[in-house]
Chains A and B, each alone.
Chain A
């Protein structure tokens, strides 16, 4: 049976303001799902809900058929869900190597296996040479790559990336996406990615989920989304936000 991560009818209110309003999202194995929308559309809130950091007011979540509604982040991580954060959140007092090692140790693998994962992921993300440096001594691009290496160390079934290329140069962004694709070649992992760079979304994603004001306005292939009038209005229409 193929794995899937499904959320149905997700509602989240912040003091009466609907951050998410009846959102359904489905993430399948081996696919890359882009999550886009103007600023304030609810993208990060949805990732927070999916990863257990934000309690949903209504709705349900299923991971491979099991009801995981209301589960804490650490339980979801142990069930195969990894995420990154909008700004790189590293274990700054630890070395680059330990940051990735902890990613594997967190989900209960042995020390030897955790070290092996760290070595191979640091190589994949081009950080091997900085392995023993303090994590906070890396340049920003390195920190973003390290956060992804740490998430991949969980060997997740599903990976949620919150603007992984934000603040990176075009070259760094391409390198990161290339590393993600390299990882995906040998993995069944399903990836959800929030990204404002449409170049990345259109080239990387199998499907795109568009949010606006907390509601789903379109789910489809990149080509379908690009041709959708509702999406164009949300991004480019009168009063629309054009930063995406």
Chain B
């Protein structure tokens, strides 16, 4: 087994209150998930910023490639008809 010295890196996600999504807030080092959650509490919620914490080891995050962002998100680019403002509604029509 390789002699790993540095604690692995974890990404931290916090739900600020019930009803809202967990949101990425930053990262930290910890030996395991339990310690990562405790450290996340001390580092990222000293002022009641959260009611729930997720941690994910950074190596498990897969991301889209920013260099290909333009082509990757292109399919949504020319479909203005997906937005309600595309449609004309007569002034007489209410509640639409």
**A and B are interacting partners:** no
